[in-house]
Copies of this chain bind each other. A is one copy, B any other.
Amino acid sequence: MGKEITTREQDYSQWYNDLVLKGGLADYSAVRGCMVIKPHGYTLWENMRDQLDRMFKETGHQNAYFPLFVPKSFLEKEEGHAEGFAKECAVVTHYRLKADPAANGKLIVDPEAKLEEELIIRPTSEAIIWNTYKDWIQSYRDLPILVNQWANVVRWEMRTRLFLRTAEFLWQEGHTAHATKQEAVDETIKMLDVYATFAEEYMALPVVRGLKTESEKFAGAEDTYCIEALMQDGKALQAGTSHFLGQNFAKAFDVKFLNKENQLEYVWATSWGASTRLIGALVMAHGDDDGLILPPRIAPLQVVIIPISSKDSVAQTKINEKAQQLVKELKAANVSVKYDENDNNRPGWKFAEYEMKGIPVRIALGARDLEKNVAEVVRRDTKEKQNISLDALTNHVINLLDDIQKNMYTKAKTYRDEHITKVDDWNKFEKILDEKGGFISAHWDGTRETEEAIKEKTKATIRCIPLNAEQENGKCILTGKPSKQRVLFARAY
């Protein structure tokens, strides 16, 4: 009766696309690699954004807005940064179109309107921001600068996937400036913690906090910290990164400050970001073969009430009245709720539709239920049905939303924990990767060459060197060379 979804078993990748498209989160667009975020998906993003924004403000940050364009020469200034991003830059070369003299009604690029210097659409804003900070920072009194930006960025990826990897995406990027190295390192970790808290408490997504290896770190960073989550197909997904940039950008853009001892020093920097990619993580971590399952704390809609229409108009009026009363009570309790009275669709169609869209709680109200003073309440995560007394319904729903949030986290964490496998043998490493998936906790000799060789052989990368992990002597899973700590390998999005 509803829309058909490919099952995870049949084709995991198609299942993901089905959930995004049929769940109403996003659509493909006419522009290569760019997507349209539909109202259901955008409201989800608004809820995630608003919560992250509150957490940024509680930790002392303010928002600002910097230009979309980065002059090419700015991108060149930090060498590692330039190398990392040059290959995926959308480049603006002209600023005017004109009528095509050869074809009526057509437009061509006006060759006389060529820019003296090409402009890059920001793939990230370190370059334009550090060029600005140069004007904002003279003395230690101007520090720290704790600024965040919500913006669109463009990275011209060759293979794109809805939410997970799109040419344009929405994100936030924090850019902070500090007088001391320690303060910048502390900020980097603090923001990593904000991301981890957000993922676990709001997205119901358990994450591992860790440090990226040299070859996986951000182009221009000294250290990149990350949170890594696990999807249902056993692949990992990086859900947020926080970079200690050292003095790299301060040196590239000549940003110095007069310290308390009246001496000039380069400024210390961090940057940190999370993007609409998180929506892809939500879909893959929680969804099932009937559609999306969204955590109540960020769901675009928490509760839907569906009338089981009656031909008896007296009974129908009673249903409507009861529904309106429930809407009022739930809204007063800060629950987002919709009464779907639309006559064009039958109840069964609506049930499937809201299931597909991942709405946490569905309430059905029919004439016979009302006579018994009950309503049918169905939770999306477990699909459990209960008849609940109308007198207790509002309280029940409030508790149920809380329970769903917790249950989703517990379920995801159980799965994740079951999929961290300690491995000390190369054959087992390959076998676990292929047959079980998930994170493999193994020793590594610390070299870029070994990391590369493992990636070549298995497509698995080092997702992170977990923070606060146990120190233990061991032997590299590939080379047998000595190692002091296990790292987490996985195939990843």
**CB within 8 Å of B: which residues of A?**
27, 29-31, 34-39, 42-43, 45-46, 62-72, 74-76, 79, 82, 86-99, 105-107, 109, 118-121, 128, 131-132, 135, 141, 147, 151-152, 154, 156, 168, 170, 344
Contacts and interface: CB of A to CB of B under 8 A. Distances in A.
A92 B91 contact: yes
Contacts of A62: 39, 42-43
Nearest to A46: B63
Greatest chain B CB density within 10 A among A94, A147, A151 is at A94
A97 B86 CA distance: 5
A109 B95 contact: no
B34 A68 contact: yes
Nearest to A75: B107
B105 A97 contact: no
A83 to B, nearest CB: 8
Q: Is the interface of A mostly helix, strand, loop or mixed?
A: mixed
A65 B89 contact: no
A43 B63 contact: yes
29 contacts: A27-B132, A29-B128, A30-B74, A31-B67, A34-B67, A36-B132, A37-B64, A38-B64, A42-B63, A42-B64, A67-B168, A72-B107, A72-B109, A76-B106, A76-B107, A79-B105, A82-B107, A86-B97, A86-B99, A88-B96, A89-B96, A89-B97, A90-B119, A91-B92, A91-B97, A92-B93, A97-B120, A121-B121, A151-B152
A170 B128 contact: no
Nearest to A168: B68
Contacts of A79: 105
A4 B154 CA distance: 41
A29 B344 contact: no
A490 to B, nearest CB: 30
B29 A132 contact: yes
A71 B119 contact: no
Number of copies: 2
A119 B39 contact: no
A56 to B, nearest CB: 12
Contacts of A29: 66-67, 128, 132
Contact of A154 (B46, B68, B120, B128): B68
Given A64-B37, A64-B38, A91 B69 contact: no
Contacts of A31: 67, 69-71, 119, 128
Nearest to A50: B50
Contacts of A119: 31, 90
A86 B96 contact: yes
Given A107-B75, A107-B82, A95 B65 contact: no
Contacts of A43: 62-63
Contact of A94 (B66, B93, B131): B93
B121 A36 contact: no
A266 B82 CA distance: 49
Contacts of A27: 132, 135
B63 A36 contact: no
A34 B95 CA distance: 14
Contact of A30 (B34, B88, B131): B131
A152 B95 CA distance: 17
A91 B64 contact: no
The 6 closest A-B pairs by CB, nearest first: A34-B67, A39-B62, A37-B65, A86-B97, A95-B156, A91-B94
Given A29-B66, A34-B68, A86-B96, 9 more contacts: A27-B132, A30-B132, A31-B67, A31-B69, A68-B154, A69-B90, A69-B168, A89-B95, A90-B94
